[in-house]
Amino acid sequence: MRRLCLILLLTVLLGAGSVQAQADGAESVLIRDVRLIDREGEAEDVMANILIKKGRLDLVTKDRIPSSEADLALDAEEGILLGKLELGEPASFVILDEDPRENVEILLDTATHIRFAIVKGEILRNNLSPVTAAEEEVEKRGWLAYTPPPIALPLTYQDKKRWNHFETKPVSGLFIAAVVLDRQRWLSQDAESEEQVGDLDEFNRGEIRGFRFGLVGTFNFKRPWVYTLAGATNAFDKGFETEKNDDITLFDYRLDIPLFQQTAVSIGKQKEPISMERLIGGLYLPIFERSSVSDALMPARNVGIVFNGVAPNRRFTWAVGGFNDWIDASQSFDESAKQVVGRITGLPLVSADESNVFHLGLGVRYTDANEGLRYRTDPEFNLSPDFVDTGVIDADSSTTYDFEASWRRGPFWLHGEYLRNEVAAPDLGDPVFSGHHLTASWILSGEMRAYNRRSGVFGPVPVARSVYRGGWGAWELALRWTELDITDAEIEGGEMQILSAAVNWWLTSYFSFNVYYRRIELDRFGLQGSSDGMLARVVLMLE
What type of residue sits at position 209? R
Q: Let me know: does 266 contact 320? Beta carbons within 8 Å.
A: no
Q: Phi, psi at residue 67, to the nearest 5°? A: -65, -20
* Contacts of residue 17, Cβ cutoff 8 Å, sequence gap at least 6: none
Dihedral sign from CA coordinates of 9, 10, 11, 14: positive
Please state the pTM of the whole predicted model.
0.74
Q: How do residues 19-69 score in pLDDT, each as one tens digit? A: 333 444 578 899 988 888 866 555 567 778 898 988 888 888 776 677 777
Weakest mean pLDDT among 106-120, 305-319, 445-459: 106-120
pLDDT average, residue stretch 501-523: 95
Tell me which H or E stretch contains 276.
helix 276-279
Q: Let me know: does 312 contact 300? Beta carbons within 8 Å.
A: no
Shortest CA distance to 240 belongs to which of 212, 209, 207? 207
In this prediction, residue 152 carries a pLDDT of 59
pLDDT above 90 (res 288): no
Instruction: Give the confidence band of 353 by pLDDT, cuts at 50, 70, 90.
Output: confident
CA of 410: how far to CAs of 212, 279, 418, 453, in Å? 31, 22, 24, 17
Query: How wide is the angle at C-alpha 496 spanned by C-alphas 492 and 499, nearest 5°?
Result: 175
pLDDT average, residue stretch 288-298: 93
What SS3 state is found at 405?
strand
Chain centroid to CA 356? 17
Write the Ramachandran bin of 419: left for phi over 0, alpha for psi from -120 to 50, otherwise beta. Answer: beta
> Going by DSSP bridges, is the β-strand pair 28-36/46-53 parallel, antiparallel, or unpaired?
antiparallel
Q: How far apart are CA 502 and CA 517, in angstroms?
A: 7
In this prediction, residue 43 carries a pLDDT of 58
What SS3 state is found at 527?
strand
pLDDT average, residue stretch 125-154: 61
pLDDT average, residue stretch 169-185: 90
pLDDT average, residue stretch 302-316: 90
In this prediction, residue 15 carries a pLDDT of 43
pLDDT above 70 (res 398): yes
* Contacts of residue 401, Cβ cutoff 8 Å, sequence gap at least 6: 362, 363, 364, 419, 420, 421, 422
More confident residue, 1 or 478: 478
Query: How wide is the angle at C-alpha 290 spanned by C-alphas 497 and 501, nearest 5°?
Result: 60
pLDDT average, residue stretch 156-168: 66
What SS3 state is found at 126?
strand
Instruction: Give the confidence band of 145 by pLDDT, cuts at 50, 70, 90.
Output: low
In this prediction, residue 292 carries a pLDDT of 96
Q: Let me know: does 462 contact 408? Beta carbons within 8 Å.
A: no
pLDDT above 90 (res 465): no
Q: How far apart are CA 413 and CA 407, in angstroms?
A: 6
Q: Let me know: does 266 contact 290? Beta carbons within 8 Å.
A: no
**Number of neighbouring beta carbons within 10 Å of residue 335:** 12
In this prediction, residue 13 carries a pLDDT of 42
In this prediction, residue 527 carries a pLDDT of 97
* Contacts of residue 288, Cβ cutoff 8 Å, sequence gap at least 6: 282, 502, 514, 516, 535, 537
Q: If you average pLDDT over every residue of the chain, what do you get?
A: 84
Q: How far apart are CA 464 and CA 47, in angstroms?
A: 6
CA of 411: how far to CAs of 237, 470, 502, 513, in Å? 35, 21, 16, 19
What SS3 state is found at 363?
strand
What SS3 state is found at 481?
strand
In this prediction, residue 241 carries a pLDDT of 36
Query: What percent of the chain is modeled with pLDDT above 70?
Result: 85
In this prediction, residue 279 carries a pLDDT of 92
Q: How far apart are CA 305 and CA 217, in angstroms?
A: 19
What type of residue sits at position 191? A
Q: Let me know: does 274 contact 364? Beta carbons within 8 Å.
A: yes
Instruction: Give the confidence band of 392 by pLDDT, cuts at 50, 70, 90.
Output: very high
b/e string for 130-141 if b means 16 or more Cβ within 10 A?
A: ebeeebeebeee
Q: How do residues 212-251 score in pLDDT, each as one tens digit? A: 888 888 888 877 888 999 888 764 333 333 344 456 778 8
pLDDT average, residue stretch 193-221: 90
More confident residue, 461 or 246: 461
Query: What percent of the chain is modeled with pLDDT above 90?
Result: 48
What SS3 state is found at 383?
coil
**Number of neighbouring beta carbons within 10 Å of residue 382:** 17
Query: How wide is the angle at C-alpha 54 spanned by C-alphas 52 and 55, nearest 5°?
Result: 60
In this prediction, residue 403 carries a pLDDT of 98
In this prediction, residue 200 carries a pLDDT of 96
Maximal C-alpha separation, the chain: 89
What SS3 state is found at 283?
helix
Instruction: Give the confidence band of 185 by pLDDT, cuts at 50, 70, 90.
Output: very high
Q: Let me know: does 124 contact 21? Beta carbons within 8 Å.
A: yes
What SS3 state is found at 490?
coil
Shortest CA distance to 483 belongs to which of 295, 286, 291, 282? 291
